[in-house]
Every structure is written in structure tokens, then in C-alpha cells.
Amino acid sequence: MRFLLAPLIFALGILCMKYSVQITDQFSGKIDLAEKYLGSGVGAGTYTWWKLFGLALCILSVLWLLGKIQFSF
């Protein structure tokens, strides 16, 4: 199961990092907590949060694929 899902989750993480502006515009709008702690303005705050979220997805999917962490579904 993890050999099928982990690459998909990795790809989702890459897409989150690449299309952070479009995701923000289309779905969530600005995230107040991210704007407060990650800065505000162009290219900061919510966009940075989406990039960090995508990076975390990539790292977790690789660790899961290699068997370093376990998730129970």
C-alpha cells in the first residue's frame, strides 16, 4: 500500500510547493496565523506555509516509503 501512496503523496507535496499562490487564491485565502508568524506581504506568510506544508509532505512520504515511520490506516 505504501509503495503506491507514498509517491502520490510526494507528488502532492511538490504540487503544493509549486502552486502555493494558486492554492491560496482558489481555496483558503490568507491564513492569519501564517501571516502573523511567517511575515506578511508578497511571497510570505500563507505562501510560505503552503511551501512548508508541501516540504513536510515530501519528507514524510519518503520516510514512510523507506519504512522509517509507520502509519496505520
Which tens digits make up the pLDDT trace of 13-49? 999 999 998 998 898 788 888 888 888 777 788 999 9
For the segment 61-69, the average pLDDT, to the nearest whole number, is 93
> For the whole model, what pTM was predicted?
0.86
Percent helix, strand, coil in the chain (nearest 5)? 75, 0, 25
The answer to whether 5 touches 23, Cβ cutoff 8 Å, is no
Whether 66 shows a pLDDT value over 70: the answer reads: yes
